Amino acid sequence: MMMKSITITLSILIFSLVQAGLGQVQAAFPVTIEGKRGLIESYKKRAELKMARSTDFCRGYTMPRLIGSWQCRPSAKGKVKCRSKFKCQLVNKSFSRVSETRRIRSEMKRIGRSSSSFTMVVGKSPLRNPNKYRYVEQIKRKRSSMRAVQKQAIKNKIKKRTAKLQEEMTEYDEFAQLEKELAIETKSANPSDRKASVDNLSSNSLAEDRRQLDDNQELVAPFRMERQKSNTGNEEVIRITKREDEVSKDRRFQILSFSGAMARIQDNNASSVSTADFAWTPRWQFGEKWAFRGRLGGHIISAEITEGADAETFLVYDLGGDLEWFPFVTNGLYLSGGLGVQSWTSTTGGAFSTVSFGGGYLFDFNKVKIIDRIFFNYTSVGNEAANTELKVGIGLSF
């Protein structure tokens, strides 16, 4: 039954995606250019090249394609205005950003390229990218609120038990005072006997309080109960004090773990660039010496994607996972290695496999708190430029 439900859900999702894709393919939008009359043919090819490289107007596996021909008419003195239509069409072997860029650049060499400026207007609004991380802060606030409520509940319970114990001790003191006033000789009047009676009266409550503290170490660790002598030396005072040490927390699963690093990126032409890399790195410690850490992040780089073209600045998404090995149980030194995928949002686009290895030092969370590690990482990207990345950074966990 469950498999049938999953199959129906996937079918609906695929149908919606196909329907959305067809809507993108069928939609046509105008493009208008204006420039000098003698250079209008060069302007047309430059406009077609810009549309072939653009990722702002077509979604998914589609790209703009010229339909029909350019319609031109004189506009101002010595200028011509031309108009044509483009539509978003699915890419294939013979129609892609790489093939169209090469074709148009070849035609531009034959016509002759001009560096003179011209105006270009696209009759379609650019696409918007959704925020993929909009739920992170909501989850963080919800977890913090739940911990605060549980912690306050335990505090209130301990406060009620302490008040009840103090009330019982007050009643016992009043009874002892009455015996003294009536001159009744009883063993209870002896301070040591009174102490034994109080201990017997409160043993169950104190034992249960200790059990509560043991069962909820993570929530009430900053507090503990102490039994002290009064100033006269013949009475005990129960008080709650703040602990200076903290009970260690279970860190096998770290969901709110992040990293920041400085990255040096280089290709096979010895071109290099420095950038900042940020990632969400959830971690699972599944053995004494082994852990798995995921990675979802990215960085911005500026590079020449097409030979002879201007450098582009774009975002690189990074998705992968690393296996961490701790050769020494007594400290936090570790070695890591893993696989992943990078998605480049340049004009040519593309997704490339990655292989990475590195190491670092994992700090004791109870001592260092938020900053949990320092690390270095070397990554090899399987693209044509054979990019390599060297990262040095720190990790944060909450």
Give per-residue pLDDT as tens, 136-190: 566 777 888 888 898 899 988 898 888 888 887 777 776 666 666 665 554 445 6
253-397 belongs to CATH 2.40.10.120: no
Q: Please tell me the predicted confidence (pLDDT) of residue 127.
A: 75
C-alpha span between 257 and 247 (Å, rounded):
21
Is residue 230 over pLDDT 60?
Answer: no
Give per-residue pLDDT as tens, 286-299: 988 899 999 999 99
Q: What's the per-residue H, E or C state across the chain?
A: CHHHHHHHHHHHHHHHHHHHHHHHHHCEEEEEEEEEHHHHHHHHHHHHHHHHHCCCCCCCCEEEEEEEEEEEEECCCCEEEEEEEEEEEECCCCCCHHHHHHHHHHHHHHHCCCCCCCEEEECCCCCCCCCCCCCHHHHHHHHHHHHHHHHHHHHHHHHHHHHHHHHHHHHHHHHHHHHHHCCCCCHHHCHHHHHHHHHHHHHHHHHHHHHHHHHCHHHHCCEEEEEEECCCCCCEEEEEEECCCCCCCCCCEECCEEEEEEEEEECCCCCEEEEEEEEECCEECCCCCEEEEEEEEEEEEEECCCCCCCCEEEEEEEEEEEEEECCCCCCCEEEEEEEEEEEECCCCCCEEEEEEEEEEEECCHHHHCCEEEEEEEEEEECCCCCCEEEEEEEEEEC
pTM of the model: 0.40
Return the residue matching tokens 């990675």.
295
Q: Please tell me the predicted confidence (pLDDT) of residue 23.
A: 47
Give per-residue pLDDT as tens, 29-66: 999 999 998 899 999 999 999 999 988 888 778 999 99
Average pLDDT for 179-208: 60
What is the CATH architecture of 23-122? 2-Layer Sandwich (3.30)
